[in-house]
Amino acid sequence: MIVRAGGLDDPATAALLSAHLADMRASSPPGSVHALDLARLATPDIAFFTAWDGDTLLGCGALRTMNDGTGEVKSMRTDPAARRRGVAQAILDRIVGQAHAAGIDRLLLETGTGAMFDAAHRLYARNGFVPCGAFGDYAATDFNRFLCRTL
């Protein structure tokens, strides 16, 4: 498995992100989906990463650099056929490495609640993320959870 920067122009990435958004919309109430689409990921403040096994896309994730020197983990998604192979861990490791290299000292993230998000919660807990308050433009609801990690 190789995790590399970029990949937004690959059709496999577009398909994975489309499936990600569809799942988020199906499992979360209206107004509580904060996943980014392809266009919103293609901005200068976002570093996007993809994990590959040869020509097969395994997953993706992103780091959004915020104005206050913190970073936000965004758009973490593993293809269902590649789950339980360490894909999300490899992508998160790359995001953390990028954050360190950029001088970011704190990572934040917003994720959902409910059974669909249990694996993500375990991943983030294993990697030192702890509960924190809402940040940025997010509002705390029963349908989201906020986590942070000091680097």
% residues pLDDT > 70 (the chain): 95
Instruction: Encode pLDDT of 91-147 as tens digits.
Output: 999 999 999 999 999 999 999 888 888 999 999 999 999 999 999 988 898 889 999
Mean pLDDT to the nearest integer, 32-54? 88
Q: What is the pTM of this model?
A: 0.91
Instruction: Encode pLDDT of 28-42 as tens digits.
Output: 667 666 677 788 899
E strands, the chain, where?
2-5, 46-53, 56-65, 70-78, 106-112, 130-131, 144-150
**CATH architecture, domain defined by 2-150:** 3-Layer(aba) Sandwich (3.40)
Q: How buried is 137 (Cβ within 10 angstroms: 0-12 exposed, 13-18 middle, 19+ buried)?
A: exposed
* Mean pLDDT computed over every residue of the chain: 92
Mean pLDDT to the nearest integer, 51-75? 95
The pLDDT assigned to 129 comes to 98
Per-domain residue ranges for the chain? Answer: 2-150
